[in-house]
């Protein structure tokens, strides 16, 4: 346990990460002196600076020696920061008090009652929906989110009164094993992060360990069909959820009317009728079922849930419609795993069935591309046309022979192109009328606005 009584400064290595920035905001709000390093300036780091958090972008260990006091400074580290970073080496060698992001989040969450959302995909949307429902209810909540909520324009929600905390439980680096929630959802347990886990069996084992850490008397809500057993935690209630299959929590009478989904929500004690979700994508109806389940178990009323789901505005970079005219619809999405591509592309095709679908995809990590090249190709083959960018390396160094071309050659499309970011912007003027779906977890988001401006310019021609 971290004793914050002796801490006056908090320094973040990798402060621009979505999870790190939420913690930085929490400490700033709590009155600590907060600063940090990140590799590049982004809209998120600019926002942190505007909020009074000092951020720099060059590796400057000599500066830390004069600005940080190791006796009163907590250093928060993200696993994405390389071990050889000079600042990290300096802080470790000089004996600073260093904790991983996940350890600090766990410490904060342990102070209240926690709803945690885990899953290899879907967790950001479900946690953001859950937070919005609780925030809109009599319970209220604080929340640490893995994306920027469009309802609140932030990834951190604060409450001075409520004991409830909603947290996204990240499986990367087994971070979610630092959490001991009262209620939890598991959305998916697909093979991913094999550079960390080695194989799918190890991922499944880690998720079972997470379920085993839910506090006695609480509950877990599991996507129907996932291999979680009651023996994984006999001290809690186990529930299932699904989109349309019969489950403890499920949607019935689902209809799409004017791009809004209408459905009834069946739960163990009854039915919430005439639910409405005004956010696009059938996958988000299933996410709403999971979020509503957590909210119900936490004590939120049925009418409060119904009203909050109807006012949910989504998460930036999750099925995020950024430009729309009669000729073009531009959608930005964080999908970076084959199962996420499958869900996103199929939802777009269902919603805009009569439109030409152009996809732009930036693979994320050399290891993930190597592990899932054929699966990526199979999902990208659902598109009408594909523009494939180079791999975004993130924390990794190149793997010989692993590149975007190994995916492209397996894509079953006549119209497919391997392009650089500059070439994409040149080609965007020639995009066919229809839906432009841009997907990836790297820096593809920096291309969204330039592409949107190009499409806007075409409307004025």
Written as one string, the DSSP assignment of 301-323 is -HHHHHHHHHT---BTTSSEEEE
pLDDT on residue 198: 75
In tens digits, the chain (461 residues) has pLDDT values of 567 788 999 999 999 999 999 999 999 999 999 999 998 898 899 999 999 999 999 999 999 989 999 999 999 999 888 899 999 999 999 999 999 999 999 999 999 999 999 998 889 999 999 999 999 999 999 999 999 999 999 999 999 899 999 999 988 778 889 999 999 999 999 867 656 767 888 889 999 999 999 999 999 999 999 999 999 999 999 999 999 899 999 999 999 888 799 999 999 999 999 999 999 888 899 999 999 999 999 999 999 999 999 999 999 988 899 999 999 999 999 999 898 999 899 989 988 989 999 999 999 999 999 999 999 999 999 999 999 999 999 878 899 999 999 999 999 999 999 999 999 999 999 999 999 999 998 899 999 999 999 999 876 54
Q: Which CATH architecture has domain 110-310?
A: 3-Layer(aba) Sandwich (3.40)
Angle between helices 43-50 and 18-29 (to 10 degrees): 0
Output the pLDDT for position 457.
Answer: 85
pLDDT at 12: 98
Residue labelled with tokens 């600042």: 87
pLDDT of residue 321: 92
Paired tokens of 138: 């009599």
CA-nearest of 35, 33, 85 to 59 is 85
CA of residue 359 relative to chain centroid, distance: 20
* Structure confidence at residue 79 (pLDDT): 82
**Closest listed residue to residue 420, CA positions, set 437, 395, 444, 439:** 444
C-alpha 451/C-alpha 73 separation (Å) is 43
Q: What is the predicted pLDDT for the residue at 208?
A: 96
End-to-end CA, the chain: 62
User: Looking at domain 320-459, what is its CATH homologous superfamily?
Assistant: Mur ligase, C-terminal domain (3.90.190.20)
Q: Which two tokens stand for residue 219?
A: 């509950």
Look at residue 191 in the predicted model and tell me its pLDDT. Answer: 64
96 phi-psi bin (left φ>0, alpha ψ -120 to 50, beta other): beta
Domain boundaries, the chain: 7-100, 110-310, 320-459
Q: Which CATH architecture has domain 7-100?
A: 3-Layer(aba) Sandwich (3.40)
Distance of alpha carbon 280 from alpha carbon 282, whole angstroms: 7
* CA atoms 453, 385, 408, 349: torsion sign: positive
pLDDT at 194: 58
pTM confidence score: 0.86
Single out the residue of 408, 411, 444 nearest to residue 428, CA to CA. 444
Structure tokens at 178: 């630092």
In a 10 Å sphere around its CB, with 0-12 CB exposed, 13-18 middle and 19+ buried, how is residue 72 labelled?
A: middle
Under 8 Å between Cβ of 264 and 274: yes
Query: What's residue 197's pLDDT?
Result: 67
């Amino acid at each position: 346990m971290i004793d914050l009584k002796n801490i006056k400064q908090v320094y973040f290595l990798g402060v621009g990460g979505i999870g790190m920035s939420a913690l930085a905001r929490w400490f700033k709000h709590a009155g600590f002196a907060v600063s940090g390093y990140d590799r590049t300036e982004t809209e998120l780091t600019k926002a942190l600076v505007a909020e009074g958090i000092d951020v720099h972008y060059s590796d400057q260990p000599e500066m830390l020696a004069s600005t940080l006091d190791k006796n009163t400074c907590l250093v928060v580290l993200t696993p994405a920061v390389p071990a050889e970073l000079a600042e990290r080496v300096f802080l470790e060698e000089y004996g600073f008090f260093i904790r991983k992001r996940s350890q600090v989040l766990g410490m904060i969450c342990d102070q209240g009652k926690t709803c945690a959302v885990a899953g290899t995909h879907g967790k950001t949307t479900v946690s953001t929906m859950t937070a919005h429902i609780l925030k809109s209810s009599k319970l209220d909540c604080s929340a640490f989110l893995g994306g920027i909520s469009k309802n609140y324009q932030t990834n951190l929600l604060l409450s001075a009164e409520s004991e409830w905390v909603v947290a996204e439980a990240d499986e990367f680096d087994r971070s979610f094993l630092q959490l001991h929630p009262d209620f939890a959802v598991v959305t998916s347990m697909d093979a991913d992060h094999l550079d960390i886990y080695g194989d799918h069996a190890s991922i499944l084992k880690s998720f079972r360990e997470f379920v085993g850490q839910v506090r006695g008397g609480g509950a877990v809500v599991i996507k129907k069909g996932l291999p979680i057993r009651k023996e994984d935690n006999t001290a809690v209630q186990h529930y299932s959820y699904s989109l349309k299959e019969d489950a403890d929590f499920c949607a019935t009478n689902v209809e799409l009317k004017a791009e809004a989904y209408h459905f009834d929500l069946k739960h163990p004690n009854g039915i919430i009728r005439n639910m409405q979700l005004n956010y696009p994508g059938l996958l988000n109806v299933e996410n709403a079922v999971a979020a509503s389940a957590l909210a119900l178990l936490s004590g939120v009323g049925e009418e409060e849930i119904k009203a909050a789901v109807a006012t949910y505005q989504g998460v930036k970079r999750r099925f995020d419609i950024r430009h729309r005219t009669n000729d073009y619809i531009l959608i930005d999405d964080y999908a970076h795993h084959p199962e996420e591509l499958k869900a996103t592309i199929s939802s777009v095709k269902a919603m805009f069935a009569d439109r030409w679908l152009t996809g732009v995809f930036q693979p994320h990590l050399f290891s993930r591309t190597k592990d899932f090249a054929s699966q990526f190709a199979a999902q990208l083959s659902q598109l009408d046309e594909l523009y494939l960018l180079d791999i975004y390396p993130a924390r990794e160094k190149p793997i010989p022979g692993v590149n975007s071309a190994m995916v492209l050659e397996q894509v079953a499309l006549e119209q497919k192109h391997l392009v650089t970011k500059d070439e994409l912007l040149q080609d965007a003027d020639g995009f066919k009328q229809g839906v432009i779906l841009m997907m990836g977890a790297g820096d593809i988001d920096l291309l969204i606005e330039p592409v949107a401006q190009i499409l806007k310019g075409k409307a004025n021609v």
